[in-house]
Structure 1
Amino acid sequence: MVDKSLWMRQVENNPEHSSWYVERFRSMARDGADLDGEARLVDAMAARGSRILDAGCGPGRVGGALHRSGHTVVGVDVDPTLIEAAERDHPGPTWLVQDLAELDLPAAGIAEPFDLIVSAGNVMTFLAPTTRARVLERLAAHLVPGGRAVIGFGAERGYAFEDFLADAGRAGLTHELSLGTWDVRPFGPESDFLVAILRR
């Protein structure tokens, strides 16, 4: 059994945390906030009708937008409350409760690998530190040869960008490009956010 993610430890400490998170995004959507920036970048990288894995999908906003753009989407999250919200708010994709450190989609009946994987929302920093390298290995294993992973998270969250990129390299993912934001601004020495584009 792998260590519990930092997210699930937060949920244990505050059982209302997941519900608060879901309602936060529902409220932002009602207010007309633009919640599709990550999905627009991924959609621009993907051929029409691509198979896309939303790794750490939360309540489904990224995967839902990609599904509406015509892609076949599978979303995975460790938190059942978030998956329930994804199913309700974004019907269409396949939503599954799984721990990314133990990700085994063929065992769940999803045999085909993915053309592209997206992991937004600081997912990498919510993982248990002892499982980060394992998660990257599991993501790489679910990509087609030449497939890409797009992973974004902020600085000062306990996972240095250089450590992440080293872990990704050891997992068989080649670093192709760093961006400073999901809206394609350059990454530089002062960047406080990383969007890494990696290729298997």
Structure 2
Amino acid sequence: MSGEQDRWAELTGGRAGEEYARRFARLAASGQDVHGEAAFCAALLEPGARVLDAGCGTGRVAVRLAALGFRCTGVDVDASMLAVARREAPGQDWLLGDLAGTDTLGLEPDFDLVLAAGNVVPLLAAGTEAAVVGQLSALLRPGGLLVTGMGLDAAHLPLPEAPFGLADFDAWCERAGLVLRRRHATWDGDPYVPGGGYAVSVHARPDER
């Protein structure tokens, strides 16, 4: 990566892990479903599929997917978030690293699905977004899926404004050799209406066979 601090680190100082985990624990205790991303991805996968949770944070999604029978690896640049993940699921694969440098993490390019949820892409360091999309695409097997969820306006982001638009994101995906398959407004699968403030997108790496 360029060495610039990502937007997440600017917001949190890299010390948000415990509070982030407590926030989702409170949501779960109140009866809210905190596994929407995992359920969405599970419906796209065959049993035993290999998943990379890119920007996995405290591991909430990867732990759930592993419990459903998928082979999950999590990677995040925030050590405080990974500390929680490793405590909650010490037997899973958790990697500390920059998403723009996934080629240095020793990952084999055979993932069935790469997930970047929780506004991972908008919170990258400015100017690195296209490179990260390219790196994540390169980790997919032919036919593999890149699944992303991101806010597109201030109401859906911890930022004063969106750092890029959906057209920019789609252009980065196209440049990385990905094709848009589906787009929704929520992890529950609600239809996306152009101009909406949140998008869940499924892009595929074409099967070369």
Give TM-score scaled by structure 2 length. Answer: 0.87
Contact kept, 8 Å, 2:52 with 2:114, in 1: the verdict is: yes
Alignment pair present for 1:166 and 2:171: yes
Query: Alpha-carbon deviations, 1:60-80, whole Å to 9, x = none?
Result: 111111000000000011100
Post-superposition CA distance 1:47-101 (Å, at most 9, x none): 0000000011011111111000000000011100101101112344211111101
1:30 Cα deviation from its structure 2 partner: 3.6
Unaligned runs of 5+ in 1: none
Query: Contact (CA 8 Å) 2:17, 2:57: kept in 1 or not?
Result: no
Label 1:168 to 1:51 Cα distance change in 2 as closer, same or farther (>3 A).
Answer: same
Please say if residues 10 and 17 of structure 1, whose CA atoms lie closer than 8 Å, have aligned partners that are also in contact. no
Q: State the Cα deviation string for residues 108-158 of structure 1 (Å, max 9, x = none).
A: 444352011111101111001210000000001100011111101011132
Q: Equivalent residue for 2:199?
A: 194
The one-letter code matched in structure 2 to 1:9 is E
Question: Equivalent of 2:152, from 127, 132, 155?
Answer: 155
Point out the structure with the larger helix share.
1
Q: RMSD of the alignment, in Å?
A: 1.7
TM (norm. structure 1) is 0.91
1:26, distance to aligned residue in structure 2 (A): 2.8
Tell me whether 1:49 sits opposite 2:48 in the alignment. Answer: yes
Whichever residue aligns with residue 180 of structure 1, its letter is: A
Stretches of 4+ aligned residues off by more than 4 angstroms: none
Which residue of 2 is the match for residue 9 of structure 1?
A: 10
3-state SS, counterpart of residue 58 of structure 2: coil
Q: In the superposition, relative to structure 1, how do residues 117 and 16 fare at CA in structure 2: closer, same or farther (>3 Å)?
A: closer
| 8 A contact 2:53–2:114 mirrored in 1 | yes
Say which is worse superposed, 160-169 or 87-96, in terms of deviation: 87-96
Equivalent position SS for 1:126:
coil
Structure 2 unaligned spans of 5+? 154-161
Question: Counterpart in 2 of 1:27?
Answer: 26
Q: Which amino acid aligns with 2:137?
A: A
Q: Percent identity?
A: 39
Partner of 1:143: 140
